Structure 1
């Protein structure tokens, strides 16, 4: 099953490249009568990443029937970097009993109901404490005994969106009830966001039942759940590009199965889609119809093959399958005619798109219904197309442009299904579970097939993806709003595990001699009493604020969450590590505060924030040029190389990622966040340190996870992910992408080995990279991601290779007349998201300007001897 679904990008498709964006027809936007976006559990309204306004449910007493008295407003205890936006996911409404949301709606419209869930802990409640059902006043069951935590873990997704469509409600209002499931242990219900949006009636005509030509299924009065919405042969289409209906359309590549992968094609740059009178412009966005997938040019192969998509679904439901077509290449009837099969049954024969649409560039769609009984093998829905031989068309070929699958409610009015079952990847000693032989963690080949070799690989079985960590803590009884003992998070990403217990002042004596000890009054003065206006980030330890100490010195102040019982180990590790380490490419710790239960760390302020903020084109910060990115990678590699070799003992960072590489006012890269760092082997007889797995999912070394044996090569693996993230400008994990692209490491390696890596490089830098530099850089990243640590290079080798890549870039830029020195490059411009440019004074004192800087480590016994050189670091008044 897993083998059928996992796609190999090594078998690259032949793509006809065209400027499709210029060809998109201007579709008439649908304007919904109702557009209600509820930011649940929040007291304030806010905008999400797409600029949509979400209204706080606390500001509307009519939505909650009891005005919220039987629920609480809660904030997520952890911020997951993979969330598309903090709104609506960082707040939730938590329910202890059946609670109803009421919405007044236009009685003439169907409505989308979209429920947003983020499986975090809320007010100390474990994510797996939430199990519930969701009902509507119109008699439909949307979710039953549903666990967001289990489902998200099985799908390796950071958050979940469940989309339903409800028929018209003549009474003009619809209610949504959240009902905690009755269990032996106390359970709760929750929701982060609710959308109620009018939608046009997309199902005016009944769907033909496959296998029964004279039987149709009328879904006009039914509720249905969106299962799949695929842009066949095309890339992801965001909701903002969907004609006012805010539907996401996903790449179909992971679902194309069998030996015939087909040929992807696109329309020319001046092509326009012409919607006929009987096809509304909101049936699908023009971008969907401007590309497609055909069977290919081999006519003999096509006659003996099918082009097939396999989709995982639930049994005992009826599904409506909508196929979208648009002929972009041919102009006459009977040039391309084909048959359609669904679950090995003939849905329709002799389909001629030109005959249905009357001319080229006119979209059409066809609906088919299919019933999956309980004996359906593997819970799969097969869609296949095959050339029609009987009519002897000019070309033996078939096409498809779009594919949608909707689950229709059963006779009881339910579209709910059981939670998916994740793979059990932990050893018996961890959970008391038996590990299936085919997923044995003792067999590296098997583990590679599950994890994709990268701690977060391609999904298997269509819906059940590889699970990297499954750690269940012993369930503890909790009271709503209470704290409870801390536990190791069991879902992705691997959150920093904290030791419970509040700081009480006893560790100050151990740390006071290492760096400056601030009073809490000084900290509050520096941050204007932790003003929200000065907050610059949130991490596992707590909120980070911008501050000023000593009459003008800018600092970053990281405060632990005072209401939690977490972080003492990380706090002490950070102070101990950074007090002994001084290097140009490590963030400098100025001091700390440990007073009245508060734990605060004070660092040098990094003017330009994190590397990650400058890689993506949606944060408002300058997008870095290729030279800037490569220079920052070299600096970060120097910092990590120093950790591995320059200190008394090897120091393993254990959480290398782009959010932990900061950039100062001179664009010098500095490695930060040493809360998870650990000393490496202390004797020649040791090759590793045995320790529990900690880190961030997507960057995590699979060998470290598998064996729980930590080496400096674990940092090398994580840094390899960073290198590809810098090159492709996409996150280490992105659950919104097709399954074979969720893991950056998997996807980049597949592209590298398939020869398509240059095609997926960030377009903002693609034309700036010297071919030899790209080859050297990509080879280095690939070696870092070797499955076995012994096959990975050292950080010293990585640094050497990156500097070699910079040499190739220098030669290339000099030949092209571009600036090659760091000082000259300082005047270069970076493109902003709006297409304008921003002058960036960046590299005058960057890492490439200092290829041979001295590195010094201060051990406790060395502090006095080095006081003359480093007096500004150890003076109690700071620097």
Structure 2
């Protein structure tokens, strides 16, 4: 096994000459920006914006970039509430246009592009365009639909070898391009290596490390993930390069094997000159706070693994951060690093001092799964078996799309004597200014961070106002939230009364959003009160989405909202109390008298399928739930199923599209692998998740169970394997094995198989799923008599009374403001007693 190079966080000596060179072309529109080749631009505006101690200069500033705008380019303004003042304006392009910057050749730059589709006559979220820089295509066929609240920031690392650097926006046919803000600045010289090892593998055997390239920086990099393992969100204000580090909890595959571990105390062992060795300092690799938290093995013997979504069959730059914050003595913790279950490094922590940060870099090509798996494995023969990880960064490698054109200045080798003399004199004059400014700026400069993950939700920060945030221009998906049903609004005082001031004894469930309390309103109605907690995984956008959906649709098999509260820091949703809890509760109940029969399980699945079918076809524009799972299917006292939790819901694609481009959200184990890989959400994504629920109903086991052997961990994969091998009966819930009519089981298992097809186009619609489940129920009841193992797909000639499953007409039209507009509708099957529907305890909901 080749030795893998260890990068200690040691710091180079400060080079005054290099520093002065950076200052040799200083300009002074804002004292926060030291280099000529540092740019912060407020696009579409001539007004500077101060954001996070940075001044984003308006486009008209003479010291900022040359513009090559098309004649039909113009600015667009937004007067409604936005998440950042940078998003009040945008520059619109109807034909190819560019910004041109003066840069320092042969330096690596950070390029950040801000996109936010605020409400405007032109409907920014309909934009489709490309973005390129010399030699690289950064964005191809970019669809602005996913640039709604809270906006999208794309981050790239590009080595610039010329004195001029253009960022070009090219609209697609009949569309347009836009941008809200641009950041361009140099990064520390050694932040990205020019020579790096490459990990290669073939299946489970051929593998090894080799030199990837001695010219790695000839590629560009696009940031995909930056994770603070074992810690909280690291904000842009904290990171010294304005990066955002997100928690890793959504990606760890075996959380039962790991624990979050804080720093044992003291300080990290940095070089004493760390604060003064200039732009080449390796302190910029990661902030201290990243190295001061980690996930470590729970008992020192278990493996810990993370699976992060990636583009398939593509090179990625992986950086893993380590710091032994657990031990007072060095050389105790030695462990192994695996990628895709193949050994990469056999002696992680070889000789590293305690509290001394270090990191490993490697290029790895992703496989066809759409996931990249990283594992740390304890060496049980070491003095103190343990394994840990502090941070993870993943960037897509972008190969060159063509030669980089020469600058006119590159061909001019004759430099006049006056220019030389002027440069020398100017440099001497600027020396003293540079030193003074450097000392001052290094104390106060904080750059705007990047929002670099399209896969994790961005937490919303609660406002401090005492009035409602939903009725004063607050946005959802980038647009004002219209027509909020104020009749559903409940006062905080009433809810405090209903829950005995949110007494702990009233808690009936807990999830990522917060606690769920059982309460009684003044009119005597028993309710479930879901109250958010500050810093919860579900924030204001999900809160607003739930209100928007549930206040405007009605169906017997969809949970119904009774009210909401939005006072001061509170975000509270109120539902009718559901006596039987979640489907998951009933499936895993240890009370023998509460075990669901097979017939009851089929009826529950049918009810849930009806609710989802209605979401897809009965509401205006269609709604995709995006988080179908057993904890989001609720049961009333009569075991009537209702689909719940619409915080992640999205309106379906417009007629000319088959999908919605959006960041991936959902729950591992239920998540559609095609959506996971492509970020293209369709109705068939819900169908896949529902297929997992069907298996869960049949087997009464969780979607992901890390305690089982490796091949059985994922229920969907294991269930399909068992069906294909003809041993599905072996994994059926023992409590119902003798109840299932063979043909009913055959039809049910065929339905599961179709739902779990890897390609969404091969899956049935939810209407077809509903038809098949009704048929399975009729077979169970004996309404259709068939021979065992008869091909249930040839059922067209069988006379059977099945529901009239059809595409319901659109009952309302989508407005142009956002993708969550839903018409007020009522299901024909609703009875009088179904005027309200509700949600109760969710043990592991978001």
TM-score range, shorter chain: 0.3 to 0.5
TM normalised by structure 1 equals 0.45
TM-score w.r.t. the length of structure 2 is 0.46
